[in-house]
Amino acid sequence: MAATALVIDDDRDVQLLSKLLLEQHGFAVETVGSLGELVRQPSLLEATLILLDLELGEFTGLDILDYLYDLRLNAAILLISASASENVTRAIDAGRAKGLQMLGFLPKSGFLTGLPAFLSPLEAKAGMPTAEDLTQALEGGELFLVYQPQQDLQRGAIKGVEALVRWQHPTLGLLFPDSFIPMAEKHGLIGALTWQVLELALAQQVRWQAKGWALNVAVNVPADFVKEEGVIESFKRLKSHYVTGPARLTLELTESVGIECLNYARHVLEALRDLGCRLSLDDFGTGYSSLRQLYRLPFDELKVDRSFVSLMEQDDAARAISLSVIDLGKRMGLEVVAEGIETQVQLDLLTEAGCSMGQGYYLARPQSAAAFEQWLGERRSHESAQPASTPSFSSTC
């Protein structure tokens, strides 16, 4: 399959010229002239290369970069503009800080001569990661974690983080879990990946502990984790290496956990709980049989799926579901975590409903351990100077 390039520019001349040049280099090329056309462009998600004009009608290149980041695109992005300017440098820096693959900048005047130099390194990049790539990644330390803060909504304090896996692929760039977790599950690599993620998360928790920060760390584990051979023994061994003081490890399981073996799942989960883990039911409301699992399995926490939270403001049904899940969790004595909080209104609705914890881009995006430490340090010094907490935005991964 040919690699796909997407040209985002309202200048028809640039559209046609780039299409011609890129097709000569074997790309299938689509062109769009506005953000409206971009969001309707089906080839966007498959694009290997995006040429992005920085001056696009009412939107700036930075707006579009935010949009591309939210879509978790792995495409390489080449900025084009009439001339080099501070905006170009700022956009490249902002894109890189988010983990986007920013190739650099090409002035429109130098298009014909400049473009080929950017294309050759991309030839190897077309396509998806393979199982062999992932095996190497697991051996070579290409996987790393980013951390999204979880806030006590009633008191404002940051209680912990959710650890989210990322893969810095040598040729494909930064990969998000949706592009490799299903493949890891299909090729029997998810067990090795999960143990590696658990090790990374616990090691980080110990480092924070040494700084005097007792932060809970939540790790996503696949539904089949409970069926791993020797899971309890392996877990015991792992925990004995990392002494994390009062901070807790939460295992986030999705709704299909133990679906066909509830008694066995209950046994394993209780043993993991005895070993000091908290258990969380992630993405609640999106799977099936969830009430039965909630009833039969020993969860400590329920996560309201972000698909409900994100629609709370405008959709009565989504609000009713979110509020009912919070109520259900409270009645069962569970901690309720709302995920995907993106606005102040959502935050207020959840806080008023008595939701205990929350996370989402409005509070903070997932970020590297170093960026998180800086964010938390600044936040805590700000809080001690001025008690009322205000949400702050941060750089992302």
Summarize as ranges the residues that interact with ligand C2E (CB under 6 A). 148, 164-165, 176-178, 181, 194, 197, 220-222, 252, 282-283, 306, 339-342, 359-361, 366
Each as own residue / partner, the long-range contacts of residues 128-132 (CB below 8 Å, 24 or more positions apart, any chain) are: 128/172, 128/179, 128/183, 129/167, 129/169, 129/172, 129/175, 129/179, 129/180, 129/183, 130/183, 131/183, 131/186, 131/187, 131/189
Choice between 6 and 219, CB closer to Mg ion: 219
Least distance in angstroms from the C-beta of 353 to ligand C2E: 18
Least distance in angstroms from the C-beta of 106 to Mg ion: 39
Does position 255 interact with Mg ion (CB under 5 A)? The reply is no
Residue 181 binding: pick among Mg ion, ligand C2E, none (C-beta 5-8 Å cut-off by kind): ligand C2E
Degrees (nearest 5) of the Cα angle 4, 7, 11?
160
Least distance in angstroms from the C-beta of 136 to ligand C2E: 18
Residue 360 binding: pick among ligand C2E, Mg ion, none (C-beta 5-8 Å cut-off by kind): ligand C2E
Tell me if residue 219 falls in helix, strand or coil.
strand
Residue 272 binding: pick among ligand C2E, Mg ion, none (C-beta 5-8 Å cut-off by kind): none
Q: Could you count the other beta carbons within 10 Å of the beta carbon of residue 288?
A: 10
Question: How far is C-alpha 332 from the geometric centre of its chain's CA atoms?
Answer: 29
Report d(CA 54, CA 340) in Å as an integer. 29
* DSSP sequence for 268-279: HHHHHHHTTEEE
Residue 340 binding: pick among ligand C2E, Mg ion, none (C-beta 5-8 Å cut-off by kind): ligand C2E
Report d(CA 106, CA 18) in Å as an integer. 12
Near Mg ion by CB under 5 A: residue from 283, 302, 322, 350? 283
Q: Which residues pair with 80 in a beta bridge?
A: 53, 106
Least distance in angstroms from the C-beta of 334 to Mg ion: 15
Does position 252 interact with Mg ion (CB under 5 A)? The reply is yes
Tell me if residue 72 falls in helix, strand or coil.
coil
Report d(CA 21, CA 116) in Å as an integer. 8
Residue 197 binding: pick among Mg ion, ligand C2E, none (C-beta 5-8 Å cut-off by kind): ligand C2E
Near Mg ion by CB under 5 A: residue from 9, 53, 282, 335? 282
Does position 194 interact with Mg ion (CB under 5 A)? The reply is no
Least distance in angstroms from the C-beta of 73 to Mg ion: 21
Least distance in angstroms from the C-beta of 223 to ligand C2E: 9
Choice between 125 and 303, CB closer to Mg ion: 303
Specify the residue for token string 């010229």.
Answer: 17
Q: Which residues bind Mg ion (CB under 5 A)?
A: 220, 252, 282-283, 339
